[in-house]
Every structure is written in C-alpha cells, then in structure tokens.
Structure 1
Amino acid sequence: MATAATILSLRKKLVAATGAESPKPAEAVEILKQLKTQVVATDELLRETKIGVTVNKLRNNDAKEVADLAKELVRKWKADVGQSGSKKTTTAAASTATSSAPSPASAATPKSPTPKAEPTPSTTVASKPAPATASSSTSSSSAPAAPLRRQSSGGPPRTHKADGIDFAKGDEATGDKTRDKCCELIYDALAQDSGAPSDLILTRSRALEAHVWKQNPPPSGTAAYRNKMRSFYLNLKAANNPGLREDVVSGEISITQLYEMDPKDMASEERKAENRKLAAENLFKAQAAAPQQAETDAFQCGKCKQRRCMYYQMQTRSADEPMTTFVTCLSCNNRWKFS
C-alpha cells in the first residue's frame, strides 16, 4: 500500500501530465494505473493527500482512456471507503459484545463450597489483576470516534448544530438575524461531507458572508446580497459538487475568487459537460434563419454509411470565414456539421 508521501508525489506528476499547456495522456494513464494498484482509499488518506479531488476532475478529460480510468478509480475508492467504514463499525460492535458477555467457562462453573478464609498476602496479590484485565479489555474494545465524513458511512450530514456552533453568540456575531442565518447556511453547505476542523469551516463561512455584505451594503445592496448568498449556498451544497467545497475549505479558491465566479463556473465538471452538450445541441437546432433544406447524395453518413441526406448552410462565424454546413442523414437521423 502506497504511503501518503508517495501518493502526493504521484498527484504532483498527474497534475503536470494533465495540464492544459502540455498534456501527456500516456503518462497520465500510467500514473492512474499505479494509483489503482497501490492505493487502498480511506477517509483520512483522501483528506490528507487530496488525490480524490484531482482524480475526480479527470473524469471529463479529453483523452478517453484517462477519463475512463479516472471514473473507474473513483468508483473503486468509494467502495474502499465504504468497506473500511463498515469494517470498523462491525469490529467495534463485535468487540463491545464480546467484552460485555460473560465467559462461558465462568458461567458454567458452580461456586466453590469452600468455607471462607482470611486471604494471605500472596492470595491478595494474585486476585488483584482480574479487574485490571477487565478494564483494559473494555477500553481496548470501545468503538472509535465517528469520522467527520458522515455521509460516507451512511450517517446524517454534518451541520453547525452537530458541531455545537451558535452564530448568534460570540465576539464575531453580526447581531443581524439575516446575516447569522446566511452564515449558518454556508457553514452547513461546506461542512456536510468535510473532515476539516470546525474552526476552519467557521472562518471560511464568516469570511464569505462578510465579503458579500461588504460588496453589497444596505439598503441599496440588500437584494443583491440575498441573491448572492442564495447562489453560493445552492452551489456549495450540491451533492455532485464536492470539489468546490473542498477547494473553498482548503483555501485553494479564495473568498475573493469565489465571489467573482459565475454560477456556471461553480458548477461541477459533470454539469459543465452537460451545459456544453446542450449549447452544442441548441446551436444545431437554431434553424430559424436557415435557408430551405435540400436533399443530396453528396455526403455519406459516418454511422450507417447511407447517402440520403438533407443539408443547409449557415454563417455562424465572421463574414470572411466559410459557412457551416449542417447535414442530417434521412436513414438513421444522424447529424453532423463541418466548415
């Protein structure tokens, strides 16, 4: 099993191999294969190395082999974390039951009818270790503390109430019910599946609320303040967007950067891919100003290899660029375009 230092080294190489400037898909594939064979994921290991965040971002990589390996690796690590959580719970429960149940031998053995006698010094010394042994077995069999990432083990999400935080009290309380409520919502969104200390999440949530308040002072900015806080809450709490929460809590995305981001920039990688697909489909379907379509056999469908097609042309770019031709196969309804 790879150590945290080894995983951090592989993560650094993986980031370099998948960079936008000089991507190296073959090298990235080799690193992902090493991670698959060498890493058995746990909550603590993923939080310490952040390798899960890095690999999760590669699920929509342009290189298909890299994207497929990243998806497979994410599924494997989720299973690893689930198994490790269930094993801990089962072991703790079994140990507790064993320590609380009476020994079969002691239960079956009847009490000795030997008359009472004054204990000698040697007898007293011999009889004292028994309570110590029972005490040590009880302490060693106690269940470990529940992990902060409660959703991975099927528990409820982490909240400010579970962490014992009251935003209306303390030196940093705003004194405004609306602002305190916004701080609570941002804290709950950031903390729901995080293993970070509560003080760190508290600092991030207060800093974000204070920055939004400063940029939208009342009374003119009240509506903008509420809209901004609602947008941040909805994007941060999204179940399929753990990467954004992780980056905000860790500081990789600063409060100022987060404030300047549009909702589409805060979306998860899966949502961004869906948006790009929808934009492409909408462009293809934008035929309001298109000329009359004509049937032709000049094009061959790449899907069914037939030549019965309909086509039309549109000027989708500047005037000095060639027109874009949109083609639809009449046999299988496959569509494509070219310039």
Structure 2
Amino acid sequence: MATAQSILALRKQLIAATGESQNSEDAVIILKRLKEEVVATDELLRETKIGVTVNKLRNNTAKEVADLAKELVRKWKADVGKTGTKKTSTAAASTSNSTAASPSPGPSPIPAAKSPEPGRGPLPAITTASSAKPAASPAPESQSPAPSTSSAPNGPLRRQSSGGPPRTHKTDGIEFGKGKDATGDKTREKCCELIYDALAQDSGAPSDLILSRARALENHVWEENPPPAGSATYRNKMRSFYLNLKAANNPGLREGIVSGEISIVQLYNMDPKDMASEERKAENRKLVAENLFKAQAAAPQQAETDAFQCGKCKQRRCMYYQMQTRSADEPMTTFVTCLSCNNRWKFS
C-alpha cells in the first residue's frame, strides 16, 4: 500500500504529465500505479489531495487518461464507502455488546464508557433502566470532553466535510497582535491574519506551521518594500497574495505554500498569472487564442469557399482569410469559419 509521501510524489508527476506538455503516456502509467497501489481512505485523500487532481482528469482530452481517471474515482469512492461502513458496523457492534454486558441494573451499568478503545473516540450513550434519568438530561454534552479536545487541524476538516464554515484564525484560537512574534503594527497584523485565513481554509496542517508561513510571507514583503516609499507596493502585493490564495479553485497554490514546496521567495517573484489555478490558466490561454483569431486588422477581405470541410458539422460552406502571424520566412496562417455552425479553426 502506498504511503502519503509516495502518493504526493506521484501526484506531482501526474500534474507535470498533464500540464502544458500533455504527456498522456506518462499520465496513464501513473494512474495505473495509483490504481494498483492506493487503497483510499478519507484521511489519505484529504492529506494528499490526490482525489482533487485525479477528478480534474475525467475531462482530459486523451480518452485513455479520462477513462482511467473515472475508473479510479469510482474505485476510491468504493474504498472510502467500505471504510465508513466498517467503522459504523464496528461501533454498532460495540454498542450492542456493551448493552448485552449489563442487562441487570447495578451501581455502575456502563463501565465500558469510561475507557474507550484508542482511536475510536467516545462510545455512544447506553440507555438502561437504571440510567434512563441521566440519559434524558442534556448534561452529557459537558460530560464528554473528547470532541472538544481534538487538535486544530482535525476540527476544521470535520467542518469542511459536513459543509460547515471554513477554517480560520478564530476557529484555531490564534490571536494576532499578541505574543513574541507580533509586529506591533495593526496593518501588518491584519495582513498576517488575512494570509493565515486564506492558507488555513481547507488545510489539515498544524496551526503553528500555517502561522509561521503566513508571518514569513508578510515579513518578506515588508522587508522588500520598506516604508514610506514601499507602502503602496506592500499593500498591493499583500492584496494580490490574499486574493490568489483564498480562491476556492486554487488549492494547489495553498498546499504548495504550507508544505514548503513553493518557497516564500518564489511566491514573491511570481506574477499574478503564475499564481492562478490551472482552470484559470487554461481560460487565459483560450482567451489569448481567441483574441489572436479575431485580430483581423491587417487581414485581407474574407472569401467564401467550399475547399475546407468543418470538423464539427461536416459542411463545406466556409469563410477564410490569411494572416502572417509568425516570422516572414514562415507560411501564413489560414483562419476558417464554418457558415453553418460558426465553428472556427486555423492551420499553417
């Protein structure tokens, strides 16, 4: 069974193989390895984010990659479902055994609730004839401290999985402006707070790690743009980082910053377009191609022809024009528009 570290390495290779290079053969090999080696659990998928990466490949242009991704998603859903069913049946069996173990009323009808097995959490309340009165009271909330003593990362992950609010500095109990690392400047502390919230919203990392990354980023931006000359640049930089990091469709950037895969210096030197999500980058490339297609300022008048066949509707009623989009020694680019379905394509 693959470990979280090996899955993260495979995820990184998969992203590289399905990026701009579009190496479908490598992507197929990696997906087959994931199918053979990974037995999915809820915790493993949250920790490695491999499910998010594979899920995006279901619409990949390479049919084999898309089919494998769909098959892998179905398999992992089944794995997680089996794990959840096993936990539920185990808890039910534990409850029934505990009830059967104490059929007659006595001074201590539920001794098993005092020492639950490690890793299972608190056992459910057991109602017997002698314990009917305490069970009806709302007091058990204050009598079972186990849920409230969970670590900061586990709490937010449960809220996310149940559709609750995202993780923030308030849910983690972080107070900015206090402590030895405080800057003493309200603006800087507010910037640290915003960066922390952006990084922590769907992260399972410890709060200390996220706090250190947020403060490191703010401190580097401050040092690179000292006041008063750099105040405006400092605010613009921090605003740009916050907007890109908090984007719901950009988990890869957040994960890279928290894990240290992307250094603070690398992040500082990135353009906003480099920080964008993969979906946004694809949209930008599509817009550039579309704008180039529409750039007809120096193009000759379009002519109708039946020399080209539309790949979409298979009709031959087309308009075309030519432009010199590359160097002079390269052939001209022909832009064709189908008059039947408005499909457009180009070739050199």
1:323 CA displacement: 1.5
Question: Which of the numbers 257, 261, 275 marks the counterpart of 2:270?
Answer: 261
Within 5 Å, give how 1:85-100 maps onto structure 2: none
Rounded to whole Å, the distance in 2 between the matches of 1:203 and 1:172 is 10
Calculate the aligned-residue CA RMSD, in Å: 4.1
1:297 CA displacement: 2.1
Question: Which of the numbers 320, 331, 343 marks the counterpart of 1:311?
Answer: 320
Question: Which of the numbers 276, 288, 305 marks the counterpart of 1:279?
Answer: 288
Answer whether contact 2:323 2:334 (CA < 8 A) is retained: yes
Q: Secondary structure at the match of 2:299?
A: coil
Q: In structure 1, list runs of 5 or more residues that go unmatched.
A: 108-126
Structure 1 equivalent of residue 123 of structure 2: 141
Q: Secondary structure at the match of 1:201?
A: helix
Q: Secondary structure at the match of 1:155?
A: coil
Letter in 2 for 1:32: L
Rounded to whole Å, the distance in 2 between the matches of 1:234 and 1:13 is 24
Task: Mark the CA change 1:317 to 1:254 in structure 2 (over 3 Å): closer, same or farther.
Answer: same
Q: Could you tell me the TM-score, scaled by structure 2's length? A: 0.75
Answering whether residue 191 of structure 2 is matched by residue 182 of structure 1, we say: yes
Structure 1 equivalent of residue 24 of structure 2: 25
**Number of paired residues?**
318
Question: Which of the numbers 191, 195, 198 marks the counterpart of 2:207?
Answer: 198
Letter in 2 for 1:152: S
Structure 2 equivalent of residue 110 of structure 1: none
Answer whether contact 1:185 1:233 (CA < 8 A) is retained: yes
Rounded to whole Å, the distance in 1 between the matches of 2:58 and 2:79 is 19
Of 13-22 and 151-160, the range deviating more from structure 2: 13-22
Letter in 2 for 1:161: K
Answer whether contact 2:113 2:123 (CA < 8 A) is retained: no
Task: Mark the CA change 1:9 to 1:160 in structure 2 (over 3 Å): closer, same or farther.
Answer: closer
Structure 1 equivalent of residue 181 of structure 2: 172
Rounded to whole Å, the distance in 1 between the matches of 2:185 and 2:201 is 24
Question: How many percent of aligned residue pairs carry the same amino acid?
Answer: 75
Rounded to whole Å, the distance in 1 between the matches of 2:76 and 2:307 is 50
Q: In structure 2, list runs of 5 or more residues that go unmatched.
A: 125-145
Rounded to whole Å, the distance in 1 between the matches of 2:92 and 2:21 is 53
Rounded to whole Å, the distance in 1 between the matches of 2:228 and 2:93 is 60
Question: Which of the numbers 234, 237, 240 marks the counterpart of 2:246?
Answer: 237
Q: Deviations over 1:26-58 (max 9, x none)?
A: 453243134236534334323555644764686
Of 155-164 and 296-305, the range deviating more from structure 2: 296-305
Structure 1 equivalent of residue 135 of structure 2: none
Q: Secondary structure at the match of 1:230?
A: helix
Letter in 2 for 1:136: S
1:196 CA displacement: 0.5
Rounded to whole Å, the distance in 2 between the matches of 1:204 and 1:131 is 46
Larger radius of gyration: 1
Q: Higher relative CO (CA 8 A, sep ≥ 6), structure 1 or 2?
A: 1
Task: Mark the CA change 1:83 to 1:61 in structure 2 (over 3 Å): closer, same or farther.
Answer: same
Question: Which of the numbers 298, 322, 341 marks the counterpart of 1:332?
Answer: 341
Within 5 Å, give how 1:28-107 maps onto structure 2: 28-36=27-35, 38-46=37-45, 49=48, 51-52=50-51, 55=54, 63-67=62-66, 69-70=68-69, 73=72, 77=76, 105-106=103-104
Of 316-325 and 170-179, the range deviating more from structure 2: 316-325
1:275 CA displacement: 1.4
Rounded to whole Å, the distance in 1 between the matches of 2:330 and 2:227 is 49
Rounded to whole Å, the distance in 1 between the matches of 2:318 and 2:68 is 37
1:103 CA displacement: 9.4
Letter in 2 for 1:184: E
